[in-house]
């Protein structure tokens, strides 16, 4: 590990934590030689950074323990030239991305890799089925991915969405917080099993600024009415009626519906597992004609807030291949990136609820 602080008398860098280095110019050791590049992103926790090398616009992962240092050798008078070089490197990287192989009909595997038909990859037939190496969360972008080994793949059309309940399990910490106020109340339409979520039932709760006209409601199978039913059924080709109606294995679940004025715009089915400290989301959907307006993201924030108020530790979601990227953007990550104790708890939920999660 190169001590970055030794290069400068007026700047001290904690070399064990790379957070805050995004956009910085660094010199890294690569294949026995040094290359200059720009930090594109930093992994959660600051243990690794993704560096785009100026020489050939390739991207490499560099760990905090690897050999690297900040580029402090360029005199101030030459900074414009350095900036121009950086701009050229970015343009070169964009061109390199256009030349990267593309994956079509792709889907995520249980261990965080991509499986799909590849085009434009040397050594593979056009359209040959392949599986990449693991793609870390920080290497997942809207249009492409960067694998653990540094390979870049553009993303074409995703595989057809898997049936509900067969997607990836994701996890996100929801932190502490106050306890839910009020006593236990039954939801407006009893489902046969009580839930701690009933403490939030019956009334509408405002969200954000008054001019946004957003509110949410927690309750039984009648919350949101036909509008919420339509949102949930419209998001999937097939959907378990028991999930919509909160029956059988979903009897302890509740609906959380987001409204704009009086109209449902997003809906979720959620269930609390008190023993594991988990808020499970088997289904979350937004009104089709209102998508790209952030309603799904607002609903996720509401669910995390509910989890905090109930002192739950995790939020897990069942995701189709199509929706996995949405959940990753919310800060969740896939089952394969969970710690062993967390995986064990998720398997208990999977087996007890018989959801059929992957």
Residues 234 and 347 in one domain: yes
Q: Look at residue 160 and tell me if it is in a domain.
A: no
- Give the span between the Cα atoms of 189 and 267, in whole angstroms: 17
**Where is the domain boundary, 96, 114, 146?**
96
Question: Beta strands of the chain (E only): which ranges?
Answer: 25-30, 33-42, 48-53, 59-63, 68-70, 102-108, 114-119, 128-131, 144-146, 152-155, 168-173, 204-207, 214-219, 254-260, 263-273, 278-286, 314-319, 333-334
Q: Look at residue 62 and tell me if it is in a domain.
A: yes
**Where is the domain boundary, 96, 119, 147?**
96
R_g of the chain computed on alpha carbons: 24
pTM above threshold 0.75: no
Q: Look at residue 358 and tell me if it is in a domain.
A: no
Cα–Cα–Cα angle for 16, 21, 25, nearest 5°?
A: 115
- Give the span between the Cα atoms of 169 and 59, in whole angstroms: 29
What are the strands of the beta sheet with 25-30, ordered from one edge? 59-63, 48-53, 33-42, 25-30, 68-70
Q: Look at residue 162 and tell me if it is in a domain.
A: no
Candidates 284, 276, 340, 283; CA nearest to 310 is: 276
Q: The domain that contains 36 carries what CATH number?
A: 2.30.30.140
Q: Look at residue 37 and tell me if it is in a domain.
A: yes
Residues 80 and 207 in one domain: no
pLDDT of residue 299: 93
Q: Look at residue 163 and tell me if it is in a domain.
A: no
Query: Count H helices, E strands: the chain?
Result: 6, 18
Residue 11: give the domain boundaries: 4-96
Q: Look at residue 161 and tell me if it is in a domain.
A: no
Residues 199 and 329 in one domain: yes
pLDDT of residue 323: 82
Residues 91 and 105 in one domain: no
pLDDT of residue 220: 92
Residues 9 and 116 in one domain: no
Q: Look at residue 247 and tell me if it is in a domain.
A: yes
Residues 323 and 305 in one domain: yes
Per-residue pLDDT of the chain (358 residues; tens, 9 = 90+): 334 333 444 444 455 567 777 778 888 887 777 788 888 777 766 777 888 888 777 777 888 778 888 876 544 344 334 444 445 545 555 666 778 898 888 888 888 889 888 888 888 888 888 889 889 888 888 788 888 888 899 888 777 533 333 233 344 443 333 323 333 333 344 445 888 898 888 678 888 877 778 999 999 999 999 999 999 998 888 888 899 999 988 999 999 999 988 899 999 999 998 888 889 999 999 988 776 788 999 999 999 989 888 888 888 888 887 788 888 888 887 776 777 777 777 777 766 654 443 3
Residues 319 and 236 in one domain: yes
Residues 6+ apart with CB under 8 A from 207: 214, 215, 216, 258, 298, 302
Residues 209 and 138 in one domain: no
**Where is the domain boundary, 58, 73, 96?**
96
Residues 343 and 207 in one domain: yes
> Based on the structure, what is the number of domains in the chain?
3
Residues 252 and 324 in one domain: yes
pLDDT of residue 324: 83
Q: Which two tokens stand for residue 156?
A: 């074409």
Residues 309 and 173 in one domain: yes
Q: The domain that contains 339 carries what CATH number?
A: 3.40.630.30
Residues 242 and 314 in one domain: yes
């Amino acid at each position: 590990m190169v001590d970055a602080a030794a290069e400068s008398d007026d700047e001290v860098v904690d070399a064990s934590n790379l957070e805050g280095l995004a956009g910085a110019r660094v010199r890294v050791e690569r294949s026995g030689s040094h290359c200059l590049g720009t930090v594109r992103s930093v992994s959660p926790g600051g243990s690794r950074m993704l560096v785009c090398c100026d020489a050939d616009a390739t991207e490499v992962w560099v760990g905090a323990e690897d050999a690297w240092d900040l580029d402090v050798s360029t005199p101030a008078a030459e900074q414009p030239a350095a900036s121009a070089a950086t701009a050229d490197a970015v343009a070169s990287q964009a061109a390199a991305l256009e030349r990267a192989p593309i994956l079509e009909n792709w889907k995520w595997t249980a261990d965080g890799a991509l499986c799909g038909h590849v085009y434009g990859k040397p050594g593979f037939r056009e359209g040959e089925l392949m599986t990449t190496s693991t793609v870390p969360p920080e290497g997942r972008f809207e249009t492409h991915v960067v694998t653990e080994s540094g390979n870049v793949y553009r993303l074409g059309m995703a595989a057809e969405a898997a049936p509900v309940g067969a997607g990836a399990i994701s996890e996100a910490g929801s932190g502490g917080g106050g306890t839910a106020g009020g006593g236990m109340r039954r939801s407006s339409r009893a489902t046969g099993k009580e839930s701690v979520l009933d403490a939030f039932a019956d009334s509408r709760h405002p969200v954000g600024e008054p001019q946004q006209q957003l509110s949410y409601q927690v309750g039984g199978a009648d919350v949101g009415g036909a509008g919420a039913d339509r949102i949930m059924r419209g998001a999937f080709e097939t959907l378990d009626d028991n999930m919509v109606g909160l029956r059988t294995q979903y009897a302890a679940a509740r609906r959380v519906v987001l409204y704009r004025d009086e109209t449902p715009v997003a809906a979720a089915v959620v269930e609390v597992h008190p023993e594991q400290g988990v808020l499970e989301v088997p289904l979350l959907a937004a009104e089709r004609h209102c998508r790209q307006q952030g309603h799904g993201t607002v609903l996720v924030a509401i669910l995390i807030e509910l989890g905090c108020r109930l002192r739950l530790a995790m939020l897990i979601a069942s995701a189709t291949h199509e929706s996995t990227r949405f959940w990753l953007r919310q800060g969740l990550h896939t089952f394969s990136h969970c710690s062993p104790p967390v995986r064990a708890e998720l398997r208990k939920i999977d087996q007890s609820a018989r959801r059929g999660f992957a």
